[in-house]
Chain A
Amino acid sequence: MSALLDIGSVDAHHGQLPAVRSVSLQVHPGDILALVGANGAGKTTLLRTVAGAHRASSGTLRWDGEDITCLPAHQRVARGLALVPEGRRLFAGMTVRENLLVARAAGRRGPWTLDTVLGAFPQLQPKLHARAGELSGGQQQAVAIGRALMTNPRLLLLDEISLGLSPLAVQGVYDALRGVVGQGTPLVLVEQDLQRVQAVATRIVCMLEGRVVADAPAAELSRAQITAHYFGAQRPESARTVHHAGSPGEASADNLYKVAA
């Protein structure tokens, strides 16, 4: 099966600071790929680079065989690549309905319309004419996912959709996502909750300091192995693990500190 998205040795920088270093990754139809890693591992930057919100400093991005490395974000959306950004980033001054409708700008027709999105997120129905900024966190996340679905994506990138939500709201969001997966749309998700990652994902990719340090089917990675990759403390034996040269260094010590705190 050919890859829908082919990330070929992509680098991305924040000014002088390398955030993503030579990442190669393929996403196939039907994948539910979870990106796991500590804060600052480059997960968000990788997603934003794929979506076109961040410039790749080198490497190539191929979408369905086509080179999209230099395409602006809105043209990538028009090809079916949608990102639900970290922190939801709704248009707070606009109503829920307007937030959803604005995504029609992508010009992609398909199964997702205002009605089907509201069917998938019924909690939004009574809030349709409320300002997006006035909703609860869980409702806002539903709007953010619904807005991305309105572009009828062929691949959905989800960045930290459970950030700042109550456990109940997170459950609600994931329940609704199950409906999306039922449509066969592949997902790439960044998620901090390992339990949830192992329950949802078919494939897990661990990132450390901008590099991919493990890429394996979810069933083949144990929780301990993921945790080890997360901190870069030890290198467990695992199938298809990509090791990288160089020490974990200060950054991961800092991450350890953050987790401990």
Chain B
Amino acid sequence: MNLLNQIIQGLLLGGYYALLACGLSFMFGVMRIINLAHGSLAVVAAYLLWLLAEPMGWHPLLALLAVLPAMALLGWVLHRLVLERSARLGALVPLLATFGLASVIDNLLFQHFGADTRSLATAIGTLAYDSWELPGGIYVGQLPAMVLVFAVTLLGGLHAMLAHTALGRQIRAASEDADTARLVGVHTGAVFAAASAITMVTVTLAGASLAMRATFDPFSGPQQLIFAFEAVIIGGAGSLWGTLLGGVVLGVAQNLGAQVHPQGFLIAGHATFLAILLARLCASGALRSFFSTRRQPTP
């Protein structure tokens, strides 16, 4: 029964990871950009929410409604100023640029807000710890359950948007062949900027659920980025439903690891990620070709 409990709690945690990873996966799938500032941007959203909800006393939902468009706008600007320019220079430059951006964000947050850990848990009242009791004495937190349902809805919505709307078609066309997309009238710059804005909306929602279900501090970003990155890789890069699966696998692995040993939470997550990464590399033959080129003497 305890095992079942850990799996259920892992599933719920996986919902949060999926929500966190969906923006990373979407941006990689659409623009082939790995945004290393992803976690830090989620923490920015968390701070904005906290700022409105705690010192200013807004209702958290109202604060979320205000922060969502602001973060979407930030995504647009970020694309125009950083991502678009750096992506033009090759695959490595956006990695460096967003890594630098993450450092800047983390340290600005530290400078402004200090090292205190914050949380929105106090602003949402009993929702922070309310739960449903399942038969067998298993408790399911209402907030984690809502986050899981929300993650599934969001991923489904993004998937439907890509598959069935004019914007979705333009995003897919631009991501497949931007040059040709322009030749059939797609304003690829605007389409990618819109995709960045959509990504920031998902990042904001991830930041909100981080702030509500746990605590955060100025340097929480990189840790969130690692979880998101692991979920994306486990589920298969660029696939939205794969991301959901990846998040759940990561969450379950971490909870089962914690069951084995108190230190097992992170170790089991990372080990699962590495095992799946290795399995993918072996399956694609990349590993074999890597070693065979290494072994060959240079002519």
Contacts of A85 in B (CB 8 A): 180, 183
- A51 part of interface (Cβ distance < 8 Å): yes
Determine whether the beta carbon of A104 is less than 8 Å from that of B183.
Answer: no
Identify A72's interface contact among B169, B177, B180, B182, CB under 8 A: B182
- What is the interface size of chain B, counting residues whose CB is below 8 A from a CB of the partner? 17
A53 to B179, CA, bound (A): 7
In the complex where A93-B172, A102-B169, A102-B173 touch, is A83 in contact with B183 (Cβ < 8 A)? yes
Report Cα–Cα, A170/B182, bound state, in Å: 26
B172:A91 contact, CB within 8 angstroms: yes
B176–A102 contact, CB under 8 A?
no
**What is the distance, in angstroms, from B282's C-beta to the closest C-beta of chain A?**
26
B166 touches A106 (CB 8 A): no
Residue of A51, A52, A53, A73 ringed by the most chain B CB atoms within 10 A: A73
A-B contact count (CB 8 A): 73
Tell yes or no: B98 within 8 A of A by CB.
no
Query: Which residues of chain A are within 8 angstroms of B266 by Cβ–Cβ distance?
Result: none
Residue of B nearest to A101 (CB): B169
Interface of B is mostly: helix
Give, as a whole number of angstroms, the nearest-CB distance from B129 to chain A: 46
Residues of B contacting A208 with CB < 8 Å? none
Residues of B within 8 A of A147 (CB): 184
Given contacts A85-B180, A91-B180, contact A106 B172 (CB under 8 A): no
Question: In the assembly, what is the distance between CA of A20 and CA of B93, in Å?
Answer: 33
Q: Complex: how many Å from CA A80 to CA B179?
A: 18
Q: Tell me which residues from 59 to 73 in chain B have a Cβ below 8 Å from any Cβ of chain A.
A: none
Cβ–Cβ < 8 Å partners of A107 in chain B: 185
State whether the Cβ of A103 lies closer than 8 Å to any Cβ in chain B: yes
Bound state CA distance, A147 and B181, in angstroms? 11
Please tell me which one of the listed residues B166, B173, B176, B183 contacts residue A73 in the complex, with CB atoms under 8 A apart: B183
Interface presence of B86 (CB below 8 A): no
Asked if residues B184 and A77 are in contact (CB atoms below 8 Å), the reply is: yes
| B35, chain A: closest CB distance, angstroms | 23
Interfacial chain B residues near A73, Cβ < 8 Å = 182-183
Q: For residue B188, which residues in chain A have a CB less than 8 angstroms away from its CB? A: 74
Q: Does A105 sit at the interface, judged by CB under 8 A? A: yes
B288: interface (CB < 8 Å):
no
Q: Is B170 an interface residue (CB 8 A)?
A: yes
Q: Which of A72, A103, A151 has the most CB of B within 10 A?
A: A103
A106 touches B185 (CB 8 A): yes
Q: Is the CB of A78 within 8 A of B166?
A: no
Q: CB within 8 A of B176: which of A92, A103, A106, A151?
A: A92
Q: Is B128 an interface residue (CB 8 A)?
A: no
**Roughly how many angstroms separate A93 CA and B180 CA in the complex, as a whole number?**
14
Q: Which residues of B contact A102 (CB under 8 A)?
A: 169-170, 173, 181, 184, 186
| A-B residue pairs in contact (CB < 8 Å), sample of 13 | A51-B183, A52-B183, A53-B182, A72-B187, A74-B186, A89-B180, A91-B172, A93-B172, A93-B176, A103-B184, A104-B185, A107-B185, A150-B184
Q: Which residues from chain A sit less than 8 Å from chain B, CB to CB?
A: 51-53, 72-74, 77-78, 82-83, 85, 89, 91-94, 98-99, 101-108, 147-148, 150-151
Query: Assuming A85-B180, A89-B177, A103-B185, what are 17 further A-B pairs, CB within 8 angstroms?
Result: A52-B182, A72-B182, A73-B182, A73-B183, A74-B187, A89-B180, A91-B180, A91-B181, A94-B173, A98-B169, A99-B173, A103-B184, A105-B186, A105-B187, A107-B185, A150-B184, A151-B185
Question: 6 tightest CB-CB pairs across the interface, nearest first?
Answer: A106-B185, A77-B185, A73-B182, A103-B184, A89-B180, A105-B185
